[in-house]
Amino acid sequence: MEQQQKPDLWKQLKKVSDTAWEIPQSFKQGMRVPARIIGTEKLVKEMDPGVYDQVTNVATLPGIQKYALCMPDGHWGYGFPIGGVAAFDAEEGVISPGGVGFDINCGMRLVITNLTYKDVQPKIKQLVDTLFQRVPAGVGSTGFVKLTHSEFKDVISQGAKWAVEKGEDGCIKDADASKVTDKAIKRGFNQIGTLGSGNHYLEIQRVLPENIIDEETAKAWGIFPDQIVVMFHCGSRGFGHQVATDSLMKFLNVMESKYQIKILDRELACAPFQSPEGQEYFKAMKCGINMSFANRQVILHRIREVFSEIFKETPENLGIKQVYDVAHNTAKLEEYTVDGKKKKLIVHRKGATRSFGPGHSELIPIYEKYGQPVIIGGSMETGSYLLAGTKKAEEETFGSTAHGSGRTMSRNQAKHQWRGEQLQRDMEKRGIYVRTTTFSGLAEEAGGAYKDVDAVIMAAEEAGISRRVAKLVPMGNVKG
């Protein structure tokens, strides 16, 4: 779409509330439901026209329920916009790899410590330098965990439980390694414990006293003033990419000829969820989810190791504990009320985070009172947020909220506007020490290439789909 078309697009939006804007079914032939964009007027007006096109394409897919959604951090993606959410009837609807993404279970993990800024500031360079050595980053990086193809199949079946026996979030059930191609195994078996590239990072952060918004929830989750925490963002690497690629090709071959499904964009290739092809992808995608959980578990092991080595204390004495691990790119079976009836839906979240409210049946006891922890990463220059899920998210957005600040420009544009070496020096002057595998990759991730994270978070809170607990500001960063 050309930029000059944007004003006409804006005029067709119906204001539902100050933070919800609807594109009617009449906007595009074939739309089965309206599309709805969550955000303030400013954020929605600034979204690239591709978002309007993609979210309305999603609204044409068979079995879609209520509306196709885009979160406040939304921007153009592959098939679905990044920030896209859509739920399909589990019996009559479809499943689409373009609604999950190539980096299956790209997600974030937040880890707390009992260390304070005073403890860590003198050692920040040593910590970041050592983490940079121990956690491989960048394109094609491989991990220290050496596995055979057979052992890797155990990883993608068991998830984080393969690395350590732990709770419910470490593994998604019914992953089937037999549904994964040999090519996918070859691409992923040596990448456990690696960050990868792009917007993936490992960051040491500080909890400024004035940035604790909800003291009661923060305290319950182990957050205190001037604390040091660690947040990292990564996914299923080449393995997840290959699982998505294999399934897309398969769906393109059968979608129209076998199932008479016509789509407006081949990037939305899909199959009926209950079909053999749909179920094969669902089980292979779960392997991608588990690979990513295991990947983050091994990275956490490295973080514990590094902090223990530098502070000459056990990880237990340093209070190193996981708060939560959230997945961004998934399709999950969940139950919601649609038109007064409870229905089982296959919920696609593409660059969007689950946001279950207090008392939800899937939450473990520690989170029942306050809702599910939601981790939303900003740019490496600005800061990130810990939030809590809400009941309204369950009612309005299929239990979903934003996942980050969202890009405002392409990586190529960012590389033309910033120089990585200068950016690194400027950030260090502001108290953020960064190590990167490539300066061009660092330039791509400049803070100016992203939306204002505070504006995105406030839009999500005003919409009632998540609520702020604390803001976390960067001190040190390992960048892919």
- CATH number of the domain at 265, please: 3.90.1860.10
pLDDT in tens, 137-152: 766 666 566 666 777 6
CA angle at residue 133 from 128 to 138, to 5 degrees?
95
**Shared domain check, 346 and 253:** yes
87 and 112 together in one domain? no
- Residue 101, in any domain of the structure: no
In this structure, the answer to whether residues 315 and 428 fall within a common structural domain is yes
Residues 62 and 208 in one domain: no
Considering the domain architecture, whether residues 114 and 85 belong to the same structural domain is answered as no
Residue bearing tokens 């708060």:
323
Exposure string (b/e) for 20-45, b if CB count within 10 Å is 16 or more? Answer: bbbbebebbeebebbbbbbbbeebbe
Gap between the Cα atoms of 278 and 208, Å rounded: 47
Residue 398 in 3-state DSSP? Answer: coil
Together in a domain, 29 and 165: no
352 and 261 both lie in a single domain? yes
The domain boundary residue, chosen from 95, 126, 141 = 95
Please count the other Cβ atoms lying within 10 Å of the Cβ belonging to residue 415.
18
Would you tell me the crossing angle of helices 149-158 and 276-311 to the nearest 10 degrees? 90
d(CA 198, CA 82): 15
- Would you state the pLDDT for residue 290? 87
- Give the model's pLDDT for residue 155: 64
Which of 38, 70, 95 corresponds to the end of one domain? 95
Task: Please report, to the nearest 10 degrees, the dihedral formed by the alpha carbons of residues 427, 412, 232, 313 taken in order.
Answer: -40
pLDDT at 165: 40
Query: CA-CA distances (angstroms) from residue 123 to 71, 223, 475?
Result: 38, 21, 11
Handedness of CA 366, 370, 371, 374 (dihedral sign): negative
Look at the chain and report how many structural domains it folds into: 2
- What is the reported pLDDT for 168? 42
Q: Where are the beta strands (DSSP E) in 235-367?
A: 271-272, 321-327, 330-338, 341-350, 353-354
State how beta strands 20-23 and 107-116 pair.
Answer: unpaired
Convert the pLDDT of each residue in 392-448 to its tens digit. 999 999 999 999 999 999 999 999 999 999 999 999 999 999 999 999 999 999 999
102 inside domain:
no
User: Would you give the distance in Å from CA 166 to the centre of its chain?
Assistant: 22
pLDDT value of residue 183: 87
Per the CB < 8 A criterion, the answer to whether 291 and 247 are in contact is no
Do 121 and 166 fall into the same domain?
A: yes
What's the CA gap between 334 and 346, in Å, rounded? 6
The reply to whether 406 falls in a domain is yes
Give the structural domain span for 362.
107-479
The residue written with tokens 């593994």 in the block is 171
Question: What is the rounded distance in angstroms from the CA atom of residue 360 to the CA atom of residue 234?
Answer: 27
Nearest to 94, CA basis, from 332, 250, 271: 271
| Other Cβ atoms closer than 10 A to 170 | 21
Q: Are residues 35 and 181 in the same domain?
A: no
CA distance 151 to 188: 12
Place of tokens 């609604």: 99
Domain match, 70 and 213 both: no
Residue 427, domain member (yes or no): yes
Residue 377 CA, distance from chain mean position: 9
**Which parts of the chain sit beneath pLDDT 70?**
1-8, 138-148, 152-153, 155-171
Rg, Å, the chain Cα set: 21
The answer as to whether 216 is a domain residue is yes
CA atoms within 13 A on the CB side of 86: 33
100 assigned to some structural domain: no
* Domain match, 71 and 185 both: no
Q: So what's the pLDDT on residue 2?
A: 36
What's the pTM value of the predicted model, to 2 decimals? 0.92
- DSSP label at 168? G
CA distance 268 to 447: 30
One-letter identity of residue 235 = G
CA gap 86, 331 in Å, rounded: 9
Is 164 in the same domain as 72? no
Among 62, 95, 128, give the residue marking a domain's end. 95
Q: Are strands 20-23 and 14-17 parallel, antiparallel or unpaired?
A: antiparallel
Q: Give phi and psi for 112, each to the nearest 5.
A: -100, 160
Residue of 101, 66, 67 lying closest to 83 (CA atoms): 101
Looking at the annotation, which residues are catalytic? 403
Phi, psi (degrees; rounded to nearest 5) at 148: -85, 170
Alpha-carbon gap, residue 412 to 112, rounded angstroms = 35
Q: Which two tokens stand for residue 115?
A: 């260390």
